[in-house]
Structure 1
Amino acid sequence: MKFEAVMNEDTAVREFLNVSLSLQKLGKACILRLTKNKMYFIVSEEKLGPRRPMVWCELPVAFYFKDYKIQDNDDIILELSTSLLARTCSIFKQNAKMIKMKLLTPADATYLTFEMELMLEEMRIRRCVHDIPVELVARKYWTDYNEEPVFNDFHVSIQMPKLKSIKNVVEKIKTLGQSVTVSANRTGKLTLEINTNTVKLAAHFADLNVNSFAQEEVSNINEDDDKVSATVDLKQLVMFLSGMQLMDCPLAVCSIVQGKMVKLFLEEPGILKLQIFMFELTI
């Protein structure tokens, strides 16, 4: 089992750093799936039993790596600490000009190794090596990570406003309750609402483009305002938005299954696809 990749373009280095810093906020550990054409970072729920995906991030190899080699074009699936990954990638800020990633498998452990060349003053180069311990995922569990989650029953998909504006709202209301109701209607209004015994408030984002709206398929839609909604964990939404270093994605879509789930989809074409899944909160 061999893997080696070289990254030396400034834009690719910066984007990879942003991804690693985001992952650190979204979960303690993540799955890294290496394939011939794409690299995936997957964060699942931290609980016993079947682990539903919370984050599914897809990076195209062609954008990030000048050289990319994986033995026999076979998949490799690893589990690693997001904090160690972020700590290692933070070194990229020190004017990194070349980063080589490779998998080392000595007898006692397995490591994802980063060999970095940092440009110093007077054209001097400092070489730095970081080893991140990883665990190989047994093949019997690969089915959990081979296929991205697909949900075909969204009742509404609406393009989101700038994520920074949503982040500012949830940061201000994060102490007011445990849950937030996310809703959207056919006229292009996205609403974040908190309703408790002591406070009721809502933030509205209007005039957004609606990609799809399936009213006839919703059994318990609110007929008064023609909206689809789901109630999710407010702390989880805050965690996602505060963790993301990717606030300038040109495409950001919120999709809702009535009373069941909210999905956020972010894309920088040719650079990154990120899906975040939040399921209906059970209290």
Structure 2
Amino acid sequence: MKFRGKIIDIACLNHFTRVITTISKLTKTCVLRLTPDNLFFILSEKVANGGVSMWCELSQANFFDEYQMEGVTPEDNEICLEVAPENLSRALKTVQNAKALKLKLTKKHCPCLTLAADLPTLSAVSRAVTHDVPVDVIPRKLWHEFKEPHMPDFDVSIYLPPLKTIKNVVDRMKNLSNFLVLEANMSGEMNLKIETDLVSVTTHFKDLGNPPWDDGSQRDAEAMAQARLDIRRLQQFLTGQQVNPSKALCNLVHHRLLHLILLHEDVSLQYFIPTVA
């Protein structure tokens, strides 16, 4: 079982750092799944039990100048590691101006992802920084828990307004209630609502557009599907987001689930937030 990769392009390194930082804001631990073509960061809490889930997919060719891996066996050519993304994020932030960054799976006092960077210097003496980020190797028998989640059988799918705009609204609403209702329809309309004994507040969005999924259903385009959410879950997602997606959308399973999708040319991030009663 081997893994090594090298990033030379500083723009790729900074983009990789932003993705890891986003993930670190969403979860304390996650699974890093390495395959010959992709890296996946996976959080697999049981949504049915009130937990959130995450699936972030990166194409290695868009980040790494060199990338080599050997999985557990030729038939099971992948590696699954449990990692604390905050540790990885801190290490990456110290090497953002590196001339090159090498990542390698190593065995020190425990399995580690070792980051080695050549930093720029004003003298002829090179300056190198190394970080060892501890990881746990996940055995093959548990891999089935970390497969790509199925697209939910949603009632409404809609493009989101600018995430910064949503964040500003949610930040204000959090001061008034612990819960928020997000509702949307297939006519490009979305509302964010809070209702308490003392106050009722709604923010309306129109003309957002709906993704062209062709699922063969004949839904009423004006009918609202809604999800009542713990506002802290949504705020956590919006606060940590640094991927700068080219498209952002959400799918709603009425009274059950909010499925958020951020799409970048070389990154996709899915985040699942269950509803609360």
TM-score (norm 2): 0.90
- Letter of the 1:280 partner, please give it: T
C-alpha distance in 1 between matches for 2:17 and 2:107:
25
What residue is the counterpart of 2:83 in the other structure?
80
1:256 has 2:243 as partner: no
Q: Report if the CA contact (8 A) 2:50-2:274 is conserved.
A: no
What residue is the counterpart of 1:242 in the other structure?
239
Q: Report if the CA contact (8 A) 1:156-1:212 is conserved.
A: no
What residue is the counterpart of 2:62 in the other structure?
63
> How far 1:33 moved relative to its partner?
0.5
- Aligned residues with identical type, % of pairs: 33
**Count of equivalent residues:** 272
Structure 1 unpaired stretches of 5+: none
- Letter of the 1:238 partner, please give it: Q
Q: Report if the CA contact (8 A) 1:38-1:60 is conserved.
A: yes
C-alpha distance in 2 between matches for 1:46 and 1:121:
51
Q: Report if the CA contact (8 A) 2:262-2:270 is conserved.
A: yes
CA distance 1:46–1:105, shift in 2 (3 Å): farther
RMSD: 2.4
CA distance 1:67–1:51, shift in 2 (3 Å): farther
Q: Report if the CA contact (8 A) 2:52-2:274 is conserved.
A: no
CA distance 1:153–1:208, shift in 2 (3 Å): same
1:231-250 CA distances to partner (integer Å, 9 max, x unpaired)?
1111000001001112x311
Q: Report if the CA contact (8 A) 2:157-2:185 is conserved.
A: no
CA distance 1:110–1:276, shift in 2 (3 Å): same
Structure 2 unpaired stretches of 5+: none
- Letter of the 2:114 partner, please give it: T
Q: What aligned pairs does 1:19-58 form with structure 2 within 5 A after superposition?
A: 19-45=19-45, 54-58=53-57
> How far 1:195 moved relative to its partner?
1.2
1:89 has 2:92 as partner: yes
What residue is the counterpart of 1:163 in the other structure?
163
TM-score (norm 1): 0.89
1:106-143 CA distances to partner (integer Å, 9 max, x unpaired)?
4x411110001111235753100000111011211100
Deviating runs (4+, > 4 A) in structure 1? 49-53, 212-218
> How far 1:215 moved relative to its partner?
11
C-alpha distance in 2 between matches for 1:195 and 1:67:
53
C-alpha distance in 1 between matches for 2:50 and 2:184:
28
1:67-98 CA distances to partner (integer Å, 9 max, x unpaired)?
111015611000011221111011133x1121
